[in-house]
Amino acid sequence: MRGPWSGRVAIAFTLAGAYLAWYRLGRTYGSTAAERRAPMPGDDLVDCPTVSCTHAATIPAPPERIWPWLVQVGWHRGGWYTPGWVDVLLFPDNWPSTETIVEDYQSLTVGDFVPDGAPETECGFVVRELAPEQHLLLESTTHLPLTWRRQGRAHLRWTWCFVLRPVDGGRATRLVFRWRARTGPWWFTAGAHLLIVPADFIMSRGMMRGLRIRVTMRPPMG
């Protein structure tokens, strides 16, 4: 006869298995093994990452139709194209992700600061590389609470890279998104693996789907 402990063990194994599956999706959603192995711009900026995730999706549009959406990302810019419920729940002070291409946000250049939080947080990315219709590389050391940065409690070097590769004779695009981070101390790195990586499955999948919807809708210029 099975005792109460056997049932608890079964539940524990089920939950652990579900978490590990979610964690793997957070690191690999949509990407192939070859895409995860392939070098990408920015890998050299974080050459010994403590966390690395690669996601990908095929969007039925050429790179030139996707590029304008990428260069307008950011807080109080175009947003990140995540689902509306994510924006409301996690980023209530940000504007909703735009449904149009906004001409005022199309002049992104290397060295520009892309905000990813309210001004008082001093949080955002710096554009490190930009090859129109090919790739966009962003880097941050500021995605930490401001007090942590000032007191040296934790550190972070984080890159986001979007690569656009034409497929299907140029009629579609393989969008590959990789983020790499070098973090410390150990408890912050552990938290990144425990919480941020699984959450990235929702965020990155939502962003890819949001981009696909907007690109295929052919919205007017804002």
Is 122 a member of any domain? yes
We report the CATH number of the domain holding residue 118 as 3.30.530.20
Strand, coil or helix: what is 155? Answer: strand
Residue 165 makes CB contacts below 8 A (sequence gap 6+) with 63, 173, 174, 175, 176
Residues counted in the chain: 222
Is 133 a member of any domain? yes
Q: What percent of the chain has pLDDT over 90?
A: 74
pLDDT (tens digit, 9 = 90+) per residue, 193-217? 999 999 989 899 999 999 999 999 8
- Give me the chain's average pLDDT, please: 90
Is 88 a member of any domain? yes
The parent domain of residue 124 ranges over 15-217
Q: How confident is the model over 74-99, as a mean pLDDT?
A: 84
Q: How confident is the model over 59-86, as a mean pLDDT?
A: 93
Provide the pLDDT confidence category of residue 164 given band limits of 50, 70 and 90: very high
Is 58 a member of any domain? yes
Is 64 a member of any domain? yes
Q: How far is CA 113 from CA 119, 156, 211, in A?
A: 12, 17, 22
Concatenating the DSSP letter of every residue in 165-182 gives: EEEGGGTEEEEEEEEEEE
Is 4 a member of any domain? no
pLDDT (tens digit, 9 = 90+) per residue, 3-18? 566 667 777 777 777 8
Is 195 a member of any domain? yes
Whole-prediction pTM: 0.90
**Number of domains the chain contains:** 1
Q: 113 near 126, Cβ under 8 Å?
A: yes
Q: How confident is the model over 149-167, as a mean pLDDT?
A: 96
pLDDT (tens digit, 9 = 90+) per residue, 38-71? 999 999 999 899 999 999 999 999 999 999 999 9
- Gap between the Cα atoms of 124 and 119, Å rounded: 9
pLDDT the model gives residue 92 = 76
Is 31 a member of any domain? yes
Q: What are phi and psi of 93, to 5 degrees?
A: -85, -10
| pLDDT above 50 (res 19) | yes
